[in-house]
Amino acid sequence: MESFEFGPGSVQVADDGAVAQVLHPDGRRVLLDEGVVHDSLHAWGKGFVITDHGAYRFDTPAFTRWRSSGIDLMYRFGDLELRVGRRFGERWTETYELRNTADAPVEIGSIAISTPYRDVYASSRESLTGSVHAHVWTGGADAWVWAVPMDGSGPGLGLQLTEGELWAYSIESREPGTSSNIRGHIYLHVTDQARAPHAMGGQPAITLEPGGTYRWTWQLAWYTKLPDFHADRQPLIEATKLATEVGETLRLTGVTPRELSSDQPGIQHVEATDGTRTARVAVLFHEPLRVISERRARFILDHQRRPELDGSRKYAFVPYDNDSGLTVLSSAWRDWSDARERIGMAILLQEVRDRGWGDRAELDDALAGYEEFVRDHLLDDAGTIQDDSIHQNAVRLYNFPWFARFLLGQGDRSGATRILDRYYELGGDHFLAFDLGPLLSELGLHNHLVRHAKTFIGYGDELPPHEVNYEQSMVAPLLELLVSAYQIAPDEIDGAELSRRLPWLTAFAADQPDVRLRHVALRHWDGYWFGRLRLWGDVFPHYWSALSAVVYAAWPRELVAPELADWLDAAEDAILRANLVSFAADGSATCAFVYPSCVNGQPAHVADPLANDQDWALVYALRRL
């Protein structure tokens, strides 16, 4: 093992020439350590190639030359030769050159390099003090990665491509055993055309003639904050805003500034070139929110109930498989049940009804039937919410505020209050359910609100684990709770306690020039739990990213500088609009878009066919946009 200085940090290089670890200037470890998930086979700089002559992984180099400033490596596999040069100092530069040594052309369908960032959640404290969020953008020549400590502190590690193009990233090592607390190994791809030709706007095939080469270089450095990293880059194409309504205009800048508009809804990939290299961004044109919401409500009423059942269960809202046209029977899989997150459909119908949209009589009947179902099967006299109509002996605290919100929307204020009182009787002071702060404020339950906020201030960075050890949908509800308590009791809740936690939330996202990614928090397990494809891997956007938008909208402006207030407004708008991509023109929807080109070798960059729980995204958009 050799150690090289890298700015104020250092890089440890293993005997085989792969990067074993990167030490942050504050001492934390940026890459995964060997253990249950990680091993030397996935070390930084190792990878694989898929060609029309065969597929190969590369690990042990055929040639190694150590230098005072780094190392040179050469790998041989099949008809190919890969040369790698690593140089360290104030900046860390890596150059890869793939060469065809055969007498005939070789078509490269995939080239992948492992970059095993320490994107793991052991506990909230270990995450905040010892892990990083890796925000990836593989937009061709403009590709970059921003690895930021999970507490949002600087410096972050910025990787920018300076030569060649990167068009995809994939994820490996996601298994039921790793569950939701480990993101997996991130592989950066020059192309992943052989496995997922459609991914991220299209993957190029690369043909190497005899003796021909393909070369790419990336450079890494430490930056105090993300804007400093971007100031060190010169993108070929970028846009301040990535989503707008059909008929409106988006402005793109870079080597070929232009204005873009469309009368057709959907994502558009837009490219720019300097004549040698090409880069790409992804923008969204969406229909007006009323159109999307009314179509979605119509689809829910027509397809996402079970009229074949007796009694009030026929009024429950359930998942729907867009491929088969069938509703989904949950059995033991609770995330496909007739309760839990599916109540978002009922709350969406309330939002549509209360705006005077849709068919008022039909919406009233549907919501009255759903209320009957709730009272018959989910709500008992004590205010306890059962997990679903089948599982009557399980309590899940997440469910309580959602059903309180529904009853409040139906005019039952006392019922909503009873549910929240029961939530606290069952230990809610130590749990971060969603929508608690605004709901408690609206119901005048200020004692619950302030006590709960003080409890979590007392926890500091040792938050109790929830269904995931640490995640954006713990931090966002925490801040939502603290903001609401601060607003009603500023003398009891110190604004500094809010301010020091805000970077915990903002660190979950970056500002990649893809509408699915910009300001959208990392979530990388929901496709498995809620989708039919059961794919692990990054889900962009995920509807609970809207929880971040809620926090940004409510954030007390006296606690931030004016420029951050502008950023909060832009991020809120970007998140809410990004989530509109989950809804199709016929009113159908997808619960998860798994973004990487592949996960464990399975082609991805795909919308799951299940319409399940995504309607919360529309609920939050209706409340804000």
Q: Which tens digits make up the pLDDT trace of 542-563?
A: 999 999 999 999 999 999 998 8
- Strand, helix or coil for residue 358: coil
Paired tokens of 319:
């998942």
| Residue at 366 is within a domain | no
Same domain, 144 and 185: yes
Read off the DSSP letter of residue 519. Answer: T
Paired tokens of 29:
């470890």
Read off the DSSP letter of residue 29. Answer: B
Same domain, 75 and 103: yes
Paired tokens of 270:
């837009």
| Residue at 319 is within a domain | no
What is the model's pLDDT at position 598?
98
Same domain, 65 and 193: yes
Percentages helix, strand, coil for the chain (3-state, rounded to 5) are 30, 25, 40
Same domain, 184 and 52: yes
Mean pLDDT of the chain: 97
pLDDT digits over 382-409, tens only?
999 999 999 878 899 999 999 999 999 9
Query: Phi-psi bin for 17: left (phi > 0), alpha (psi -120 to 50), beta?
Result: left
| Residue at 357 is within a domain | no
| Residue at 19 is within a domain | yes
Among 171, 205, 233, which residue terminates a domain?
Answer: 233
Read off the DSSP letter of residue 33. Answer: P
**Would you say residue 425 has pLDDT above 80?**
yes
Instruction: List the end-to-end C-alpha distance of the chain, in Å, as a whole number.
Output: 54
Same domain, 256 and 218: no
Say how far apart CA 132 and CA 471 lie, in whole Å.
12
What is the model's pLDDT at position 85?
98
pLDDT band for position 566 (cuts 50, 70, 90): very high
Residue (of 312, 327, 467, 318) closest to 379 by Cα position:
312
Q: What mean pLDDT is predicted for residues 576-596?
A: 98
Looking up tokens 């009873």 gives 418
In what helix (H) or strand (E) does residue 218 lie, and over which residues does it extend? strand 213-223
Among 233, 253, 278, which residue terminates a domain?
Answer: 233
Contact yes or no for 364/349 (Cβ under 8 A): no
pLDDT band for position 37 (cuts 50, 70, 90): confident
Same domain, 576 and 519: yes
| Residue at 184 is within a domain | yes
Q: What mean pLDDT is predicted for residues 174-186?
A: 91
pLDDT digits over 493-512, tens only?
999 999 999 999 999 999 99
Same domain, 41 and 180: yes
**Would you say residue 331 has pLDDT above 80?**
no
Please report, for the domain that includes residue 78, its CATH number: 2.70.98.40
What is the model's pLDDT at position 414?
98
Residue (of 429, 468, 476, 469) closest to 448 by Cα position:
429
In what helix (H) or strand (E) does residue 619 lie, and over which residues does it extend? helix 616-624
Say how far apart CA 19 and CA 503 lie, in whole Å.
29
Q: What mean pLDDT is predicted for residues 574-599?
A: 98
Domain limits for position 148: 2-233
Question: Which residue type does 536 have?
Answer: W
In three state form, how does the secondary structure of 290-329 look?
A: HHHHHHHHHHHHHHCCCCCCCHHHHHCCCCEECCCCCECC
pLDDT digits over 194-248, tens only?
999 999 999 999 999 999 999 999 999 999 999 999 999 999 999 999 999 999 9
Paired tokens of 602:
């399975």
- Strand, helix or coil for residue 333: coil
pLDDT band for position 140 (cuts 50, 70, 90): very high
Say how far apart CA 577 and CA 270 lie, in whole Å.
18
For 2, other C-beta atoms within 10 Å of its C-beta total 14
pLDDT digits over 280-310, tens only?
999 999 999 999 999 999 999 999 999 999 9
What is the model's pLDDT at position 519?
98
What is the model's pLDDT at position 175?
86
Read off the DSSP letter of residue 386. Answer: P
Q: Count the domains in the chain.
A: 3
% pLDDT > 90, the chain:
96
Same domain, 60 and 152: yes
Same domain, 223 and 260: no
Same domain, 39 and 180: yes
pLDDT digits over 42-88, tens only?
999 999 999 999 999 999 999 999 999 999 999 999 999 999 999 99
Q: CA of 236: how far to CAs of 139, 140, 166, 223, in Å? A: 10, 10, 14, 21
Q: What mean pLDDT is predicted for residues 331-346?
A: 94
| Residue at 273 is within a domain | yes
Q: What mean pLDDT is predicted for residues 16-24?
A: 97
Same domain, 187 and 251: no
Same domain, 64 and 86: yes
Contact yes or no for 40/34 (Cβ under 8 A): yes
Single pTM value for the model: 0.97
| Residue at 551 is within a domain | yes
Say how far apart CA 463 and CA 122 lie, in whole Å.
12
Among 214, 233, 252, which residue terminates a domain?
Answer: 233
In what helix (H) or strand (E) does residue 598 lie, and over which residues does it extend? strand 598-599
Phi, psi of 223 (to 5 degrees): -135, 140
| Residue at 423 is within a domain | no
CA angle 607, 536, 593 (to 5 degrees): 20
**Would you say residue 625 has pLDDT above 80?**
no
Paired tokens of 585:
């023109």
pLDDT band for position 622 (cuts 50, 70, 90): very high
